[in-house]
């Protein structure tokens, strides 16, 4: 993306490599959910839903990377 209007384009262009983008996004999701699961204020019934939440988030990411004209 350009940093300013009509500026030079910078970035790693991960959208051009869907697998790399997916792996980085999946890692980010895993770290976020691990931090969420480690919260001391989280009730026990909510802990069981973390797997479902992870599956849904990864499915959305996979659809974004591979199902919408991506790799």
CA 58 to chain centre: 7
pLDDT in tens, 23-34: 999 999 999 988
Q: Which residues pair with 2 in a beta bridge?
A: 9
Whether pTM > 0.85 for this model: the answer is no
How many whole angstroms separate alpha carbon 22 and alpha carbon 29? 10
pLDDT band at 47 (very low <50, low <70, confident <90, very high): low
Token pair recorded at residue 17? 């490599």
For 4-53, strand residue ranges (E) read none
């Amino acid at each position: 993306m350009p940093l300013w209007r009509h500026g030079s384009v910078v970035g790693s262009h991960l959208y051009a490599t869907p697998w790399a983008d997916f792996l980085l996004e999946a890692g980010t999701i895993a770290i976020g959910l691990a931090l969420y699961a480690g919260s001391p204020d989280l009730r026990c019934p909510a802990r069981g839903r973390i797997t479902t939440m992870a599956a849904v988030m990864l499915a959305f990411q996979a659809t974004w990377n591979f199902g919408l004209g991506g790799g």
